[in-house]
Every structure is written in C-alpha cells, then in structure tokens.
Chain A
C-alpha cells in the first residue's frame, strides 16, 4: 500500500513547455485534489475530483487542466508553462469529499517541485 504517489519529485521546464504531473493512489479513494504551495504561503486548491469522470475547479484553476479517467489516477496538466507556475504541487486523496457526512482525513503525497525558467 503506497498511499499517494506523485511523480516526478523535481522538474525544471522552460516557459511555454507543457508537462503532466502524475498522481496515483492505491486506496480506492473517490476524492482527489491538487494544491499548489508558493514560498511562505499556504496551500491553494487548483482542481479537485469527487470521482472518476468528474472534475471541478478550485481557487486557482487558470493554466491547469485535469482529468479523472480512473479512480486511481488524477494527472495535472500544464499546457504552456509560465514562470508564475513555479511552485510545489501536492496531490491529495480521501475516501469521500470533505463535506460528506462520513468524513475521513485527506492523505497527501510528498509533492512535486516545479521550476519554470
């Protein structure tokens, strides 16, 4: 049982390049989410998904796309990277959405550190 696995751990991109940050969980969790964390700041929600085939926007969705074709995987795509997207990205999962009456804490991955030059 690996929990939430994020790849890669580090990445450097040039402005305008595209890439996909991978997130996989092996706990059969329905809810998955992506956050970004800039230096000295808290986490900001980018996108989230309450189940396969369903995604929605968080606080800062611009410049990012997501899809949820399977329960296990929730990739985050940067179509045209910009220096403002330099950040640490965290993926998280939980059995149910935060507001569900049967609440379980979110499990976080170890993060992807992304630098865009």
Chain B
C-alpha cells in the first residue's frame, strides 16, 4: 500500500497561494491521489483527485510530478475559511480509503 508523507503544519497569508506538498514515493501505477480537507472537526470534504495529469477545479489545483512520487495541492487565493486540516490520500486497496494525519493549514490575515 502506498503511504503518504505531509508536513504537520503550514501557514499562509490571506490572498496568497497555499501550496501543500505530499510525498507518495511508493505509489503504484494505477493508484490515484486524493485530497480532502476537514474544517474544525466537521466531516471531511472532498477537494480534488488525479492520476497522472494536473487537475483543476473550482476549489483547487493538483500538480503531480512526472514520476508520480509527489504532488502539490494549490489553493490559488487562500481565505480564512480555508483554514483546515488537509489530507493527501493514495488509495490503499480497492475498497478502502485510508487517511493519514494531514497538514494543518493556518491562513492568517
């Protein structure tokens, strides 16, 4: 099973881009990278996912390196409401989605 490594915490100024890294050096060829976030003990919220190509939606962009061993979630213009714990997940096996401890992002004014 691929494991992920994320920094425990990061800060970002409001209005600036927040770049959250994730290492998944043991990822296999058919495993997707998923990002969720959890705001203040609410249930986690899906953000974005990708396999090889970079992805963008209304919430964020996902940049995956060519060797797929790492990825970066980009929040282009962070707001105070983006303060949350962000989880990078690589699918463990067919029926399980395994969360790690995530990165606590603090957006400050």
Contacts and interface: CB of A to CB of B under 8 A. Distances in A.
Contact of A108 (B45, B85, B101): B45
Given A56-B95, A98-B94, A99-B94, A42 B100 contact: yes
Contacts of A98: 91, 94-97
Interface stretch (A14-22, A44-52, A71-79): A44-52
A82 interface: no
A4 B42 CA distance: 13
B102 A42 contact: yes
Interface string A87-105: 0101010000111100101
Interface of A: 4, 31, 33, 35, 41-45, 48, 50, 56, 58-59, 88, 90, 92, 97-100, 103, 105-106, 108-111
Given A88-B41, A92-B43, A106 B97 contact: yes
B98 interface: yes
Interface residues of B, number: 23
A29 to B, nearest CB: 14
A103 B34 CA distance: 11
A4 to B, nearest CB: 8
B41 A99 contact: no
B43 A48 contact: no
Nearest to B93: A99
Please indicate which of the listed interface residues A50, A58, A88 has the most CB atoms of chain B within 10 Å of its own CB.
A58
A109 B94 contact: no
Nearest to A92: B43
Contacts of A106: 44, 46, 97
A99 B95 contact: yes
B91 A99 contact: yes
B99 A111 contact: no
A48 B99 CA distance: 14
A90 B43 contact: yes
B32 to A, nearest CB: 7
A105 B48 CA distance: 9
A110 B96 contact: no
